Every structure is written in C-alpha cells, then in structure tokens.
Chains A and B, each alone.
Chain A
C-alpha cells in the first residue's frame, strides 16, 4: 500500500491546549532570559569557574538529539531500509526544529545575545566555536533542501544525494559539538579525541529516543495508526545505540583510570563528586543505561509499547545526566595549575571544587528551548504534510529490508 502524508487538522481543543501550554513555557523562558540579560549573570548560578551552566545542558541535549533524529531519515535514504522511509519527512522536520530550539537557548545564554550579528558576520576561522556556527547553519540549510527534495515530486530523484550529504554533514556536526570539549587542552575532563565519537553515539541514542517518544505521543493524539512492529524494530536499534554510548563512556573512564595524573579527576566523578557522582551512577548508568536495556530486552514486557515509551524516556534522563556530568562536572573540578601543592586559602575560591546551584531562571530558559522545538514541530506538521496518515504494520512492513 502506498504511504500517504497529510497535515494535522489542528482544530481540536487538545491541539490548542498543547500549543497554548508550550507557548506559555516558551514565553516564561524567554522572560527569564530577558531577566538574566537585564540583571546580569550574577542572578544565575554561573561563576568564573562554571561558565556554562544548566542552559547549555538543555541546548546541547537538543542539538545532539537533533542530529540524531536525522538518522531515522538517513537509515531510509542512505542505507535503503524501506521500513524507515515513511518516517523521513518527520525526521527531517524534527532535526531542524530541535536544532532551532537548542540554538535558541545557546544564543539567549550568551553574555551578549544582542551581538548575534557580530557572531554571524565576524569569524575567527581558527575557532572550533566558529566552525560550529557554520555546521549548525549548514545543517539547517542542507536538511531543508533534503526535505524539499523529499517532498517535492519533481525533485525526488535528487533526494538520495541530498540525504547522503545530510548524513555526512550530521556526522561532522556532532563531531564538531564533541570537539568543542575535546579540543580543550587544559582541563582534566577534556583534551581527548574520544569525546567526538562519544557525542556522535550519544546523538544516535538521544535522537532515536526523542523521535520514538514523539511519534508514540503524536500518532496516538492524532488517532493515526502506529504499528508495534515498527516500534519494536526501532527499539532494537536504540538498544544498540545505548550500549555503544556505554562502550565509549567505559573506554573514556578506563583510559583516565590508567593515567595516574587523572586519578584525582576520576575519583571526583566516580567516587566523591557529590551530585556529579550521583548523576553518573544513578542518572546515567542505572536509569539511562541498565534500566532501558533491561526493559527493551525483557522477553515479555520488552515487546509492549509501554516498554518502548518508558525505555526511551529513561534514555533521555540518562543522556541529560551524562551531559551534566561531562560539562558541569568537568568545569567544577579545579584546574591543576600547581601540581603537588595544596591550596589552603584563596580570597577568590580558586583551586577548590567549584559549586554550582542552577537558578530557576536558567532552568526556565532551558525548558523554553524544548518548548520552542516542540511548537515548531507541531506547527510544522500542521502546515505541511510531514506525518504519514498511517504507520500500521500492514502498510509499512516493519520487516522490510
């Protein structure tokens, strides 16, 4: 049976309630961004030691997930898996909207968001940060073209090429995101090439989990059929992604544990780092890795839709925790400037583990990014035919190569 697509009707009270709630969250978040911008960064929990705080966790979460969501389209286009092809349009749309939500947070969390035009016109081409500006903008453009070729009948013969370019670009993009941290020579948590592939794999897992959750909720809300066979197939792949992220995390920490000069940092993350240790073991390992894998591969419960929903949600919690540990934990650990010496006093909190208590404003800004991404997705599916009318197993054939 041929796959057909259509816009959401968008006339039900539920549709407007969802949009209204999301718009309220976005408005409150934008208000808090205005407040932080107006009052100064002292109203946030950030300091000279923790310069990127909670908003960056949300932003990177969305950016990493965005590139991962595009995988769904790539699996259909680049790897030719027919069962994934009906999801390509929604995958492309969500890749754009999630990235837009993440970038909105990033820009609003800049010290001077009013100088965005400076950032867009004055480039230092040696800066990995500048490269990322190109990578993000390029991603939006390339995925836009990819979607256009996918949806415009006359252009369909070109869309596999666009899909290939988009796939390569998304790999480079997440490599760039990971390298923002990997290229930092002076901090114990970073200065390692493994962060780039770790971020790539993390994007695979987060993107797939976000996408699965979205289609489960959206198709149910719109009364469009969604086959369990397709979900089960995607769930199996998601499990492999989760295990792959775990592999990179293990190699990262094992390498550090092998290097004597990294022992203090590893002890901080794995043993005595307080919130960071808790988020690593409970947030990432237990909730974000072991629990979803156990759920997904449980012989009976694993076959249900609830298992897919619950497992995907837990993966998001785990990914968020891992980003928090990598980014905030890495900053909280003091710079090693005076090896072998103990800081006994500093008028300025130097040389000690930095404390960071996120402010409500930062949390609200982060939530606004998620709301903006979801509003754009919902409106996108309302305006253009991104969503298939049915993803019933009889139509999609989830076992198709």
Chain B
C-alpha cells in the first residue's frame, strides 16, 4: 500500500489510524502480546519489563486492554477496550515537549518520539488526555505506539503483512488499519457506516483512531418465516424420542 498517493498518483494528506470494533473485541490481549513481541525486538525496543512473573510486575506496553462494566446490575454488560496512542490530529503531547522529541509526521500523521532527543522529563505524559504515554523504566525515555512504522513500509514483507502487529494478530478482526483521510478507504467507510467515534472529542485533540460502538443486532421474524416450506409432515417441533430400549444403529449394523 502506498499511503502517499491516491489512485491517480496524486500526493494526498494522509492520516493513518486504527479502527477498533468494540462489538467484536473479546479482550483476549492478543493485540497486547503481539505488539509487545514486535516492538520490543524492533525499532522501538526494547520495551523493558521488571519483575514480569512476580507479584508486582511493571513494564512498557504500547497497547493495553481495559474492561468496563456498563449499566446497573443485573442489567450489565462488559466491554473490552483496547487503548493505545490515538495518533491525534492535534496531539497535545507534541507542543508541550521541550526539545521537540515528540513530533507528528506530516506524511502519514503518525505521532512518534525521537528517543535520541527525549530527555525523559515526562511532561508529555501529563499532557496526553488518554494516558497513552509510557516511560521505559530502563531507557528512561517516553515511548508509545508507533503504528508499527517499522513494519508498514517494509517492502521486504508481503503486502498483506505491512500492517501493525496488533491488526495482524487480532483473532476476531476487531482491528482495522488504514487512511482515515481517504474517503474511499475501508476504514473511512467503516467509520461512516458503522458509527465510528473518537474518544473524548471534547478535548479538541481529534484522535485519529476511532472506535466502533457496541451494537445490538436484532431481527424481526414473522411466523411464516419460521415454518419450513418443504416440511413433509407440515408439522414443526422436536421429533418424538425413540424408546430407551430400542437398539442403536451401531448395534443393528455390522459396519
């Protein structure tokens, strides 16, 4: 995929983003582990863990899953909510960075941190309204989701693998990836047609990542639709149980 040109080869402004379908996410954390696996060994790594198997583990994660309860008991439901950097179009973390280490790429809208310029003052962490900033406790610089920038442009990978690790790993395809500025892209269409929304739009940060809401799928069925037209006995319902002492098929045949 070439994010910089449209079908006619004209350069367009691009904003790459993730679309996460909360209706489909089952909270399995596959996105969390695949993100960690790819990024800890890549450009953004290592993503240090301390005491990972002990009582009080800490570590750097670019993607986290929160679980919410909605409604009043007993009429409640559970929502799993994967959260990573939302790659805001007006990112509050960028203007506050004293050295300019935190920046937004013009060519694809990805918000990144230049680890060599970051002094670890952590002020961006204060400014991010979504708590997406991560201090790497060993390297002592701020890190965050890169949208797998070291993967999506890697031409040594097959085309269908040039997607963020979390998108590749999601077993329910709850995560989509693409250019939300391209009205014809799959993600733009999904946002339009499935009610994609931004997290806390009132901050004015215009997060690029969108979420698809929980949806109740309902269907109205009429009685005649429940009756089979080819029902030979013209009778619906469970067939009568055979007597318990009747021999089974295995007992009456030799196969």
Contacts and interface: CB of A to CB of B under 8 A. Distances in A.
B43 to A, nearest CB: 19
A1 interface: no
Contacts of A187: 126
Interface in A15-57: 37, 40-42, 46-49, 51-52
A184 B119 contact: no
A108 B122 CA distance: 13
Contacts of B120: 110-112, 115
Nearest to A183: B96
A51 B135 contact: yes
B162 interface: no
Given A40-B140, A184-B127, A186-B203, A347 B122 contact: no
A41 B69 contact: no
A47 B117 contact: no
A48 B96 contact: no
Nearest to A51: B122
A40 B48 contact: yes
How many B residues are at the interface, by size bracket? 35 or more
B194 interface: no
A286 interface: no
A128 interface: yes
A346 B64 contact: yes
Contact of A48 (B51, B121, B134): B134
B83 to A, nearest CB: 7
A128 B130 CA distance: 20
Contacts of A335: 129-131
Contacts of B121: 110-111, 119, 129
B137 A129 contact: no
A124 B67 contact: no
A343 interface: yes
Nearest to A350: B66
B29 interface: yes
A337 B198 CA distance: 11
A123 B98 contact: yes
Given A344-B67, A344-B69, A111 B200 contact: no
A37 to B, nearest CB: 8
B140 A124 contact: no
Nearest to B27: A345
Contact of A111 (B66, B79, B122, B128): B122
Contacts of A42: 50-51, 58, 137-138
B98 A112 contact: no
Given A111-B119, A185-B92, A337-B131, A347 B32 contact: yes
Interface hub of B48, B69, B119, B125 (most chain A Cβ within 10 A): B119
B131 A48 contact: yes
B133 A48 contact: yes
Given A186-B128, A350-B83, A129 B141 contact: no
Contact of B68 (A37, A116, A344, A347): A344
A139 B61 CA distance: 40
B229 interface: no
A341 interface: yes
Given A115-B119, A342-B68, A346-B66, A128 B129 contact: no
A118 interface: yes
A258 interface: no
B126 A341 contact: no
B99 interface: yes
Interface hub of B58, B69, B99, B135 (most chain A Cβ within 10 A): B99
B140 A350 contact: no
A49 B83 CA distance: 15
Contacts of B199: 337
A361 B103 CA distance: 32
A327 to B, nearest CB: 10
A183 B120 CA distance: 19
B98 A342 contact: no
B97 interface: yes
A346 B67 contact: yes
A116 B83 CA distance: 32
Given A123-B100, A129-B96, 6 more contacts: A118-B99, A127-B123, A337-B131, A338-B81, A343-B68, A344-B69
Interface of A: 37, 40-42, 46-49, 51-52, 110-113, 115-116, 118-119, 122-124, 126-130, 133, 180, 183-187, 331, 335, 337-338, 341-348, 350-351
15 contacts: A42-B51, A49-B131, A110-B121, A127-B96, A129-B96, A184-B127, A186-B92, A335-B129, A337-B129, A337-B131, A341-B70, A344-B68, A346-B65, A346-B66, A351-B66
Interface of B: 29, 32, 48, 50-51, 58, 61, 64-70, 78-79, 81, 83, 92, 95-100, 117-123, 125-131, 133-135, 137-142, 199-200, 203
Nearest first, the 7 A-B pairs at minimum CB distance are: A111-B120, A186-B129, A111-B140, A51-B122, A129-B98, A124-B100, A126-B95
